[in-house]
Structure 1
Amino acid sequence: MSAVAPAVPSYASGTSDVPLLGDTIGDNFDRTAAARPDADALVDVPSGRRWTYGQLREDVDALALGLHAAGVVKGDRVGIWAPNLPEWTLVQFATAKLGAILVNINPAYRTHELEYVLNQAGISLLVAAPSFKTSDYEAMIKDVRPNCPALRQVILIGRPNWDELMADGRGGDRAELARLQAALSPDDPINIQYTSGTTGFPKGATLSHHNILNNGYFVGRLCGYTPDDRVCIPVPFYHCFGMVMGNLGCTTNGATMVIPGPGFDPKATLKAVAQERCTSLYGVPTMFIAELNDPDFDSYDLSSLRTGIMAGSPCPVEVMKQVVDRMGMTEVTICYGMTETSPVSTQTRADDSLELRVSTVGRVHPHVEVKIVDPETGLTLPRGEPGELCTRGYSVMLGYWEEPEKTAEAIDRARWMHTGDLGVMDGDGYVNITGRIKDMVIRGGENIYPREIEEFLYTHPDIVDAQVVGVPDERYGEELCAWVTLREGAPQLTAEALREFAAGKLAHYKIPRYVLAVDSFPMTVTGKVRKVEMRAKSVEMLDLGEAAKVRNA
C-alpha cells in the first residue's frame, strides 16, 4: 500500500530578498531627509501649510530639543491627544528622536477614558489640541488632572506654550540631539497604543522602533511606493493605520504625506486627492462608501490615483469593485492586522486578481509567519480548515504596558501572537477571516470590547443585567446591540434614552445603536451567555437580514 501524503499545513512564512531595516525611526527619517531635502514631505490641505523633508527635519529637531528642555528623557511617556494635525506628525518623530514613548490617545475619548490612560501609562507630559468638534479637550484635561499625579505638564497645540516649546528648541544644541539619538536601540519601546481586549479596560500595546518602522516600510513597498508617491491619509493618526501605514509608510519610502483634514470628511478627502494629485488613498470601507456616495463625486479629478489601502474592518465586495472602477485605484490592496502586530500581518498584492482582493485579506507579509491552529489543541490545521490565526515575527509587540499576565495570554512561549480571529488559509496561502473567537466588535475600524460597555450599562439605574453583541451593519460593518433586563416597574428603555444617558460618558462609537429589553439571556448548560445565539436572534429581531448578506473579504 502506498503511504498517504500528509495534508499541507496552514502555515506560511514571508520570504523576502529585501532585508529588514535595522535603524531607529529618527535615524531612518534623517536618512530620507538628507537624501531628499527639497522634496515634499508633509502637506496639510486645510491650513495650506507645507513642509519639504529638509523643513520637516528642522521642525522635528526643534520640537525634540524643546521637549528635552522641558525635561522629557528616554523612556518618559508623552501623550498625544489630537485629531490629524501636522503637529501630531511632528510629535511622532520628535519623541522617537528622544526615545520618549509616544502614547496615542483616541480623540473620541471622554474624561473617564482619558484619566485611565493617563494613569495606566504614567504620562508625564501631554500634548493636546485645545478642542475638536464637540470635545473640549482643555476642559476635560483640567477636570481629570487632579487625579493624575504623574502628569506634570500639558502643552496645547496653537497656544503660547506650544510656541514657546518650539522657540526653546530652535535655540537648542543639535549636537546634543545627535548624542541622544545615538543612545537609542531599534528594540526600545517607542509607542503605546490602547486597544480593547479580553478585559473591560483597554490595554496598552507597546511597540518598538523595529516593530513599526519595518511594518510601515513593507506596507509601502507592497503598495509600490517610490519618492514620486503622494499618500492621502484621512485615517486617524492615533491608530496604526494613520501613524504607521500612513506616516511611516511614507517616510521610509521617501513619499509625501497628505493630510486632507483633522477628521474624516468625504468632500475634504476628494478635494485633497484632486488638488495634491495623490497617487494613494487610505480608508476603512465606510470612508470609501461616503466618498463614492458624495453628490459631487464626479466633479473631482481622481485620475492620479493608482493604489491605496482598505482595511480596519471587513471590506464589502461591491465597494471594492467601485473603488477600482470609479476611483481608478486598480492596485488597491487589502490589509489585515491588529495593533499588537504593528499592525499588518497579511496584505493582498497589486497584481492579485479582483476576486482575491475582495474575497481574502491576502498573503503573509515579508519577514512574518502566520498559521491557522485548532483553538483547543494549538496544533496547526490543514489548509482549508478554519481555526485561530496566529502570527509571529519582527512585528509582534513587546507586550501590554505593565500587564505581564495579559501579555502571556496573548503571546505564547514561542512568541506567536494569538489574534482571536478565525481564519482559513487556502492552497496558495491566501487567508480569509471568517469571524472572531473573542467577542470584540469592529465598528467602522474601531475595536470595541463589549465588556467595557456592559460595565458602563450596569451604572444605569433601571438596568439589572446587560450583554452587548455586534450585529451586521451595511455602513460600519458592525454596530452594537445591547440586550438588557430591567428592574421591575422600570419604563421601557429606548436606544434614544440610552444615548442620552451615555452622552459625555462614553465615546460616541461605544454607545449601542440598538437596545433590546428581554426577560433573560440565552445560556449554556454551564451558565455561560450564548452570544453567538444572541447575535443570530438580534439579526432576526432587528430585521438586519440584508446587512447580514453583505459579502466581505
Structure 2
Amino acid sequence: MLLEPATSFPDMPLTLPRLFGWAAQQFGDKAAIGEQTGNISYTELNDARRQAAKAFYAIGVRHGDRVAIWAPNSAEWIVAAAGLQSVGAILVPLNTRLQESEAADILHRAGVTVLVTTAEFRRAAPKLVDKLTSVNHCILLPASSEPSAIKEEISWADFLALAEQTDNAQFIAIERAVNPHDSADMLFTSGTTGKAKGVLCSHEQNIRVFQTWSATVGLRSDDNYLIINPFFHSFGYKAGWLAAIICGATILPMAKFDKQSVMEAIQRDKVTMLPGAPSLYEMLLADDSRHNYDLSSLRLGVTGAASVPVQLVRDMRSELGFETVVTAYGLTESTGVVTICRPDDDAEIIASTSGRAIDGVDVKCADPNTGIEVERGCEGEVWVRGYNVMQAYFDMPEATADAITADGWLKTGDIGVMDAQGYLRITDRLKDMYIMNGENVYPAEVEKVLYGLSGVAQVAVIGVPKVPQGEVGMAFVVRKPDSKLDVDSVRTFCGSQLASYKVPYYVEFVDALPLNASGKVVKTELKTIAADRLNS
C-alpha cells in the first residue's frame, strides 16, 4: 500500500478528469469512497465519473457552462462534480442552508444551466427552477420515483443512462481538451458580512494547492478520511475529497453532522483523519458519552479559525487521542489555503499560530491603506500573492479590482501578526473590529482569553452600540455541563487578563452559538439577537 504524500508524484496531472484517471491507475481496487451500502474503488469511481461526464454532454453541457450542485455530502455528489468538470463545465456548489430566494439569486447570477439536487431540496423549493429561465435541466440525487414536476427533471439513474448517447472517441477528445487554466469551480463566499461573490479557481490551482496541503499535513493513502465539512465549502471539497483522491485515501462522506454519528463512524470505520472547525472538536470534548466509543484510530486533525484556543489543541491530543494536530488559515479567494503549520512544529507554534505560507506563496501583514508591510510583530491586514490567488470574482470586475492589486496581492480583510520566522497569527476580521472610547478592540483576542476560563465551552464576542462609549463588547457564552459560571465571574476573569476597555460590558449565556454549515460563528445573527435583547 502506498504511504507517500502527494509530492512524491511529480508528474501528477493538472486537470480533474486526468487526475481521476491517474488515481485509478495508481490505486486501482483500493476503496476510494466508503459508505455503509458498500465501497467504491478508485477504478469504479473513475468509470462513474466518465459515465456522468458523457451524460452531461448528452444533455447539452459544454465547456464553460455552469452546473450547480445543491445537495448534502454523498458519493454521487463527487461523481457529479467530477463528471461536469470533465467536459470543461464549471462547478457551482450551493450552500445547503440557503433559503429558496438566496439559492435563486446565486443560480441567476452564475447563469447556471443545470441543477443537480435531491428530492428533499426539490420539494423545499418547488418553484425555484421554474422561475429561472437559464436552468434547462434538474437532476435529482439520489434516484427519485416522484413524477416530473418541471422541464427536463430526471432521476440520477435515468440521467446516467443518457451516457450511451455520447460517442466514446468523441468524449475522449472533449476530456483531453480541458485545460489546466480553465475555471474548474465557482464557490460563493459565505456572505456573512455582505452579498456573496462567486470565486473562480482553475483546475491547476486546485490540484497544486491541495497537493501541497496534503503533503504538508501528512495525508496518506492508508488514511480513512471522515468528511463532515460540507462539499459546498473548500474545506469539504478541496481539502476534503479532492485531497483524498490526490493521496489515494478512502473518503467517508457524512451528510449531516451529529455527534453520536461521528463517534459511531470513527469506531466503525477506524477513522484516522478528522478535520474541522474548532467547534467540531469542542462539541466532541464537551460530550462525556465519547468515553463509550473507541476513538483510538484518530491520527490527524486539521483546524483553523481567528481564534484556536491553546487548550483545545492540548485537549485534542490528550483527550481525543490525535497524534498530529495542525492549524491552518485560508479563504475561498486563496483556493482555500494561505498558511499552515508543519507537523514537526513545536506545540506552542501549532497552538498559537496558523503556520507559515505554503510553498510558492508570499504573505505579508500590510498597512491596508498603503500596502506597505508593517514591522514584524505588529498588526496589519493579511495580503497574499501567488498561484493560489483566485482568477476573479465572476462577472464582478470592480470587486475583483478592489480585492487584488495591480501587482497581484490579494487583500484578505483579515488582521494578523507575523513573527520573524514568518509564522502568522490571525487576530480578527477587519470588519469585526469595534471601537470603544477611541480604542480598537478585536473580538478574537477577547474570545481567546475567555476560552481559558474554566466552564466555558464556546464563546463569541461582538461589538454593540452604547452611548457614550460608542461601542462596547457583548460576549455570548455557552457553558460546559454543570458549569456555575455567572456574569460577574466572566467579567472578573477578563478584567484580570485584559485592559479594561476590552472587557465585555454585556455577557449573555446561550445554549448554542449560531453556526454556518462550515462551523463558523455567524456574527450577523448574534448582532440581531443582541439588538433584540438590548431593545427589550
Give the structure-2-normalised TM-score: 0.78
Task: Please give the alpha-carbon distance, in whole angstroms, between the structure 2 residues aligned to 1:334 and 1:538.
Answer: 27
Establish whether residue 541 from structure 1 lines up as the match of residue 506 from structure 2.
yes
Structure 1 residues 256 and 429, CA gap change in structure 2 (3 angstroms): same
Is the contact between residue 267 and residue 294 of structure 1 (CA under 8 Å) also seen in structure 2?
no
Corresponding residue for residue 97 of structure 1: 86
Match of 2:110 in 1: 121
Q: Deviations over 1:215-247 (max 9, x none)?
A: 222111112122212211111111000000011
Separation in 2 of the partners of 1:368 and 1:34? 31
Tell me which moved more, 20-29 or 175-184: 20-29
State how 1:363-442 maps to structure 2 within 5 Å. Answer: 363-439=356-432
Q: Match for residue 460 of structure 2?
A: 478
For residues 481 and 88 of structure 1, do their structure 2 counterparts lie closer, same or farther at Cα, with a shift above 3 Å needed?
farther
Change (3 A) 1:542 1:365: same
Q: In 1, Cα distance between the equivalents of 2:216 and 2:321?
A: 18
Of 271, 283, 291, the match for 2:284: 291
TM-score, length-scaled by structure 1: 0.75
**For 1:142-153, what aligned pairs fall within 5 Å after superposition?**
142-153=126-137
**Could you say what secondary structure the match of 1:478 adopts?**
strand
Provide Cα deviations, 1:431-452, integer angstroms capped at 9, x if missing partner.
10111213499xxxxxxxxxxx
- Determine if contact 1:77/1:125 at 8 Å carries over to the other structure: yes
Tell me if 1:340 matches 2:329. no
Which runs of structure 2 are paired with 1:198-213 in the superposition (5 Å)?
Answer: 200-213=194-207
CA contact (8 A) 2:277 2:303 kept: yes
Aligned counterpart, 2:53: 64
RMSD: 2.8
Deviation at 1:108, TM superposition (A): 0.3
Residues 188-207 of structure 1: matches in 2 within 5 Å? 188-196=182-190, 200-207=194-201
Aligned to 2:221: 227
Compared CA separation, residues 381 and 480, structure 1 to 2 (3 A): closer
TM-superposed deviation, 1:177: 2.5
Aligned length: 446
2:233 maps to which residue? Answer: 239
Alpha-carbon distance between aligned partners in 2 of 1:314 and 1:349, rounded to the nearest angstrom: 18
Q: Does residue 1:83 correspond to 2:72, yes or no?
A: yes
Secondary structure of the corresponding residue to residue 327 of structure 1: coil
Tell me which moved more, 292-301 or 85-94.
Answer: 292-301
Provide the C-alpha distance between the structure 1 equivalents of 2:173 and 2:430, rounded to a whole number of angstroms: 47
Counterpart Cα distance in 2 of 1:198 and 1:308: 26
Identity %: 33
RCO higher in structure (CA 8 A, sep ≥6): 1
Alpha-carbon contact 1:60-1:93 (below 8 Å) kept: yes
The 1:476–1:194 alpha-carbon spacing in structure 2 relative to 1, beyond 3 Å, is farther
Contact 1:314 1:477 in 2 (8 A): no
Change (3 A) 1:428 1:481: closer
Kindly indicate whether the alpha-carbon contact (under 8 Å) linking 1:215 and 1:245 is maintained by their aligned counterparts in 2: no
Contact between 1:285 and 1:313, CA under 8 Å: does it hold in 2? no
Say if 1:271 and 1:544 are closer, same or farther in 2 by CA, change over 3 A: closer
Query: Paired residue for 1:40?
Result: 31
AA aligned opposite 1:155? I
Structure 1, unmatched stretches of 5+, are 1-15, 132-136, 442-468, 486-535, 548-553
The code of the aligned residue for 1:23 comes to L
Contact kept, 8 Å, 2:306 with 2:427, in 1: the verdict is no
Cα distance between partner residues in 2 of 1:233 and 1:392: 29
Identify the residue that residue 255 of structure 2 maps to in structure 1.
262
- 8 Å Cα contact 1:267/1:291 also seen in 2: no
Q: Higher mean Cα deviation, 417-426 or 20-29?
A: 20-29
Contiguous gaps of at least 5 residues in structure 2: 1-6, 146-154, 435-442, 451-455, 468-500, 513-536
Q: Give the deviation of 1:270 after TM superposition.
A: 1.8
- Partner residue in 2 for 1:138: 122
- SS of the residue corresponding to residue 314 of structure 1 reads coil
Distance in 1 separating the partners of 2:58 and 2:107: 22
Structure 1 CA distance, aligned partners of 2:462 and 2:131? 31
Question: For 2:429 and 2:194, how far apart are their aligned partners in 1?
Answer: 17
Paired residue for 1:29? 20
Residues 1:32 and 1:477: Cα distance change in structure 2 (over 3 Å): farther
